[in-house]
């Protein structure tokens, strides 16, 4: 077992009585990871392996007039060159790849551009050569003729009538109906309930503010990497750093117009994803190079390629208006949200609209949300995608209202908190949720109650929301004759989930987690499983493991019945012991008898739980601002969250701490800086400033367990809510410390300094 080193607290549900759940076993893949033995994507070694490199567009918007690869092909050591001409033409096909429909023409062009380039860094061509240096040298020999087009880098500019168009055929999708004039606005969502206009008129206090955020990247330390081997028999094997082997398989198969049965994806250990490794970029390119060269081809993205050529989260412009009565009850709320989806449609404005008022019970509300195309990378999911943006805005406005009414910020939120039965503006009604409990735990926490002393210091708090999805998961379990169970999981493991899933199987069987041997399996070896993301793995794949466990118990009851010559229905099972009358046998002992009663047992389960469940996080943050420089120092940070049931508390704490620090980076320093021509100025980890160990304090955690009614163990997804509260918590702390309200992210030193100076320099 393990020590709990962190400063953490768990507020348990009183009905809790588990044997394995809530303990902290060492993870099954841990030793390999601390000794360097674990195989990540770039560690794959194959006979005859050659390496590839990607040529990326130097311009942000252009027609591609010609691509001449002849000099590159002739370069000594080069074995193949690929362009989009090597991909089949996807025409207008739209595929459902699990998390929503995907336009295959866009997916394909984003892997290798077709007739137009939509952002600087878009992949144009690729070379495979004996080694990566030769491949990179050959890239410079590829001649591309570009016809430059006007560049759009700001969301509000791109929305204006008469602005240059990225896609001539793009028509705004207005809540399901297509408009008839071309636009850069790909989607307009509108949600409304009650009568906000009248309610605003009756409000005692109305606050309306505008907010801006910049493009921010997931920042995983491992770049994208894929190895492809296109065999002579037409079978394609791909080793990928991916959050979903099955999703990658489908995306790859569709892009190459291959039947899915000809494609096998082997997920390697993955060095971080956070949503950014759900889409494919390299797999079909490596496949084409492999087909053309007859060799396995590995491509790893360069770090600047990762920044410029993958899917960061959108920059945004938001306007929020909230009206309250004298007691602070929210009477009406309105949001106007514009998110940059980047080069192609299909951004995250949907979840943004869902999350903006999600922490509150508001009868009268209206949300208008827009996904807007601009000449920047195609945005993709980043941990609670779209929620952090709107939380920054909404939680800042709520904080301002609390200050104006001289109410405690947590009390104001408790007065308005969403509860079981609250209807969200986009439709769903909440089942049992844990927001109130989490707010109360924050209010009663030592951090919140302790005085904050010293000049230029302030405290802020904020709430955040994300839902966890179900989607499909499969596991296969093989019972071994020594009492252990090998568990093949379809979910890739980005944070320790293979262990928390194993623990759920262990709990079901009443045996120890160390007796389960979990493995992440490839697409030929386990049933269909949707991506690892959306905070779904511990929930949904855990459900599959529980179902598989029940199947094992059922089959083994049959074997016990055989031994005791009784009816299967007479056999009971509890605490890892099978019994009937005076007969009893332990799980492990019965395993030893499986071979002689019909052979070893395999159980499988595939689940597809419907509906969402909900996770709420509340963070408290103390900061100090250096008034002479605008630099913000985080002094103390506490993250509280309703986890439903913390299967492995260390990993729940880890999600809370990791998400908090990503949020802190987003709040203080991370942003894509673009020049007027749409070129990213800072595509390095030097100037894209993610927090170092010296930039943050310990992150104290409190896990509140309000069981999720739709999971046998009460599990809620926990991975995503933690990234949502940090930016508004810090903004609220800066307001508390200096009297200045920051409305733009990141709150970097020059911006904070300018705001303080404009405000007269003195804290209020």
Partner 1 sequence: MRDFEYQAPSSIDEAVALLAEHGDRAKMLAGGTDIIVQLREGLRDAGLVVDVKKIPELMQIAWRDDGGLEFGASVPCHVIYKDEKIIDSYPALTDSAKIIGGWQIQGRASIGGNLCNSSPAADSIPSLIVEGAACRIAGPTGERTVPVHDFCTGPGTNCLTEGELLISLVLPPPAKSAGSRYMRFIPRNEMDIAVVGAGAWLRLDESGESVEEARLGLAAVAPTPLSADEAAAWLQGKPATEESFSEAGDMARKAASPISDMRGPADYRVHLVGVLVKRALTGAVGRARGGDRNPVIPVGINRC
Partner 2 sequence: MGRKIHVSTTINGEDSEFLCEARQSLLEVLRTSLSLTGTKEGCNNGNCGACTVLMNGVPVDSCLVLAVETEGAEIETVESIAKEGHLHPLQECFLEGAALQCGICTPGFLVSAKALLDDNPDPGEKEIRFELSGNLCRCTGYDKIVRAVQAASERMKEAN
Give which of partner 2, partner 1, none residue 37 binds (C-beta under 5 to 8 Å, depending on kind).
Answer: partner 2
Is 633 in contact with 457 (CB distance < 8 Å)? no
Range 703-762, binding partner 1 (CB under 8 A):
748-750, 753-754
Among 556, 661, 715, 733, which residue sits at the site for partner 2 (rule: CB under 8 A)? Answer: 661
| Residue among 307, 252, 256, 261 at smallest CA distance from 280 | 252
Whichever of 16 and 633 has its CB closer to partner 1, that residue is 633
Give which of partner 1, partner 2, none residue 631 binds (C-beta under 5 to 8 Å, depending on kind).
Answer: partner 1
431 three-state secondary structure? coil
> Would you count residue 140 as binding partner 2 (CB under 8 A)?
no
Give which of partner 1, partner 2, none residue 762 binds (C-beta under 5 to 8 Å, depending on kind).
Answer: none
- C-alpha to C-alpha distances, 134 to 103, 144, 626, 723, nearest whole angstrom: 34, 19, 49, 41
| Residue among 161, 154, 132, 146 at smallest CA distance from 50 | 132
Range 415-474, binding partner 1 (CB under 8 A):
456
| Residue among 525, 647, 631 at smallest CA distance from 265 | 525
| Secondary structure (DSSP) of 595-639 | GGGTS--EEEEEE---S-EEEEEEEEEEEEE-TTT--EEEEEEEE
Whichever of 574 and 693 has its CB closer to partner 1, that residue is 693
Binding mask 500-529 for partner 1 (x = CB under 8 A): ------------------------------
728 three-state secondary structure? helix
Q: What does the alpha-carbon distance between residue 201 and residue 244 come to, in Å, rounded to a whole number?
A: 49
Whichever of 59 and 634 has its CB closer to partner 1, that residue is 634
Residue 687 beta carbon to partner 1: minimum distance, rounded to whole angstroms = 6
Is 393 in contact with 669 (CB distance < 8 Å)? no
Give which of partner 1, partner 2, none residue 385 binds (C-beta under 5 to 8 Å, depending on kind).
Answer: none
Residue 30 beta carbon to partner 2: minimum distance, rounded to whole angstroms = 4
Whichever of 99 and 624 has its CB closer to partner 1, that residue is 624
Q: What does the alpha-carbon distance between residue 269 and residue 41 come to, in Å, rounded to a whole number?
A: 7
> Would you count residue 629 as binding partner 1 (CB under 8 A)?
yes
**Torsional sign, CA 428, 726, 190, 348:** negative
> Is the bond leading into 101 cis (omega within 30 degrees of zero)?
no
Range 208-267, binding partner 2 (CB under 8 A):
218-223
Residue 121 beta carbon to partner 2: minimum distance, rounded to whole angstroms = 16
Whichever of 137 and 411 has its CB closer to partner 1, that residue is 137
Whichever of 32 and 675 has its CB closer to partner 2, that residue is 32
Residue 688 beta carbon to partner 2: minimum distance, rounded to whole angstroms = 9
Give which of partner 2, partner 1, none residue 628 binds (C-beta under 5 to 8 Å, depending on kind).
Answer: partner 1
For residue 464, the 8-state DSSP code is E
For residue 205, the 8-state DSSP code is E
User: What is the phi/psi pair of residue 29, to 5°?
Assistant: -100, 10
Give which of partner 2, partner 1, none residue 451 binds (C-beta under 5 to 8 Å, depending on kind).
Answer: none
Whichever of 139 and 487 has its CB closer to partner 1, that residue is 139
Binding mask 676-695 for partner 1 (x = CB under 8 A): -----xx---xx-x-xx-xx
Secondary structure of 60-117 as H, E, C letters: CCEEEEEEECHHHHHCCCEEEEEEHHHCCCCCCCEEECCCCEEEHHHHHHHHCCCCEE
Give which of partner 2, partner 1, none residue 175 binds (C-beta under 5 to 8 Å, depending on kind).
Answer: none
> Would you count residue 26 as binding partner 2 (CB under 8 A)?
yes
| Residue among 604, 501, 514, 609 at smallest CA distance from 554 | 604
Residue 377 beta carbon to partner 2: minimum distance, rounded to whole angstroms = 18
Range 496-525, binding partner 2 (CB under 8 A):
496
Number of residues located near partner 1, criterion CB under 8 A? 27
Is 320 in contact with 433 (CB distance < 8 Å)? no
Q: What does the alpha-carbon distance between residue 81 and residue 90 come to, in Å, rounded to a whole number?
A: 21
- The helix (H) or strand (E) run that includes residue 675 is none
Taking 3-state DSSP, the helix, strand and coil percentages for the chain, each rounded to the nearest 5, stand at 30, 30, 40
> Would you count residue 551 as binding partner 1 (CB under 8 A)?
no
Binding site for partner 2 (CB under 8 A): 2-6, 24, 26-27, 29-31, 33-40, 42-43, 45, 76-77, 131, 133-134, 218-223, 269-274, 300, 302-303, 494-496, 648, 650-651, 653-655, 657-662, 684-686, 690-696, 698-699
Binding site for partner 1 (CB under 8 A): 133, 136-137, 456, 624, 626, 628-629, 631, 633, 668-669, 673, 681-682, 686-687, 689, 691-692, 694-695, 748-750, 753-754
């Amino acid at each position: 077992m393990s020590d709990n080193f962190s400063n953490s607290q768990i507020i348990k549900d009183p009905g809790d009585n588990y044997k394995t759940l809530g303990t902290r076993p060492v993870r099954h893949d841990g030793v390999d990871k601390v000794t360097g033995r674990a195989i990540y994507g770039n560690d794959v070694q194959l006979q005859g392996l050659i390496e590839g490199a990607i040529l990326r567009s130097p311009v942000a918007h252009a027609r591609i007039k010609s691509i001449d690869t002849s000099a590159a092909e002739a370069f000594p050591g080069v074995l193949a060159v690929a362009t989009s001409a090597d991909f089949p033409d996807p025409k207008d096909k739209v595929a459902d790849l699990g998390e929503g429909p995907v336009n295959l023409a866009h997916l394909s062009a984003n892997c290798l551009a077709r007739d137009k380039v939509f952002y600087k860094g878009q992949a144009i061509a690729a070379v495979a050569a004996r080694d990566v240096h030769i491949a990179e040298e050959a890239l410079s020999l590829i001649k591309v003729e570009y016809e430059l087009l006007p560049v759009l880098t700001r969301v509000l500019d791109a929305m204006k009538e008469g602005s240059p168009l990225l896609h001539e055929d793009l028509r705004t999708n207005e809540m399901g109906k297509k408009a008839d004039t071309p636009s850069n606005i790909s989607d307009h969502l509108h949600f409304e309930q009650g009568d906000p206009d009248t309610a605003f008129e009756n409000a005692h206090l109305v606050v309306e503010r505008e907010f801006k955020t910049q493009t921010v990247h997931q920042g995983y330390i491992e770049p994208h990497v894929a190895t492809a081997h296109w065999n002579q028999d037409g079978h394609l094997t791909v080793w990928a750093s991916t959050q979903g082997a099955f999703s990658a398989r489908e995306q790859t198969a569709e892009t190459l117009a291959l039947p899915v049965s000809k494609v096998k994806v082997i997920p390697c250990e993955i060095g971080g994803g956070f949503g950014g490794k759900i889409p494919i970029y390299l797999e079909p390119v490596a496949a084409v190079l492999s087909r053309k060269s007859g060799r396995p081809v590995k491509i790893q993205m360069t770090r600047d390629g990762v920044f410029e050529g993958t899917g960061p989260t959108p920059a945004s412009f938001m306007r929020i208006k909230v009206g309250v009565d004298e007691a602070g009850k929210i009477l009406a709320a309105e949001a106007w949200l514009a998110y940059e989806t980047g080069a192609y449609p299909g951004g995250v404005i949907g979840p943004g609209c869902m999350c903006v008022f999600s922490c509150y019970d508001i009868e009268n509300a209206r949300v208008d949300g827009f996904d807007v195309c601009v000449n920047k990378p195609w945005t993709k999911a980043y941990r609670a995608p779209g929620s952090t943006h709107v939380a920054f805005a909404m939680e800042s406005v709520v904080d301002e209202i609390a200050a104006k009414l001289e109410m405690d910020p947590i009390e104001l939120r408790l007065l308005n908190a969403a509860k079981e039965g609250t209807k969200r503006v986009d439709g769903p009604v909440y089942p049992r949720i844990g927001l109130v409990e989490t707010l109360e735990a924050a209010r009663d926490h030592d951090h919140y109650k302790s005085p904050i002393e010293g000049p230029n210091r302030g405290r802020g708090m904020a709430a955040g929301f994300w839902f966890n999805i179900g989607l499909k998961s499969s596991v296969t379990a093989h019972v071994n004759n020594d009492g252990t169970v090998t568990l093949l999981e379809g979910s890739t493991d980005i944070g320790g989930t293979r262990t928390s899933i194993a623990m759920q199987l262990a709990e079901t069987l009443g045996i120890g987690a160390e007796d389960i041997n979990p493995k992440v399996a490839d697409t030929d070896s386990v049933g269909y499983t949707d991506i690892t993301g959306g905070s779904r793995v511990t929930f949904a794949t855990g459900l599959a493991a529980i179902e598989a466990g029940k199947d094992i118990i059922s089959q083994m009851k049959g074997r016990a019945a055989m031994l005791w010559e009784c009816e299967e229905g007479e056999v009971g099972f509890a605490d890892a012991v099978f019994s009937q009358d005076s007969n009893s046998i332990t799980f492990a002992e019965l395993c030893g008898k499986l071979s002689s009663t019909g052979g070893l047992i395999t159980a499988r389960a595939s689940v597809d739980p419907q509906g969402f469940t909900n996770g709420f996080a509340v963070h408290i943050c103390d900061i100090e601002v250096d008034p002479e420089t605008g630099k913000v120092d985080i002094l103390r940070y506490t993250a509280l969250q309703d986890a439903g049931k913390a299967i492995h508390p260390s990993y729940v704490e880890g999600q809370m701490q990791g998400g908090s620090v990503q949020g802190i980076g987003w709040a203080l320093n991370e942003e894509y800086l673009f020049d007027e021509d749409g070129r990213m100025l800072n595509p390095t980890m030097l100037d894209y400033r993610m927090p170092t160990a010296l930039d943050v304090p310990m992150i104290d955690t409190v896990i509140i367990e309000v069981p999720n009614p739709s999971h046998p163990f009460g599990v809620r997804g926990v991975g995503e809510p933690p990234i949502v509260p940090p930016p508004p918590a810090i903004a609220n702390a800066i307001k508390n410390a200096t009297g200045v309200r920051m409305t733009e992210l990141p709150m970097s030193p020059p911006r904070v300094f300018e705001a303080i100076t404009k405000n007269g320099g003195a804290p209020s």
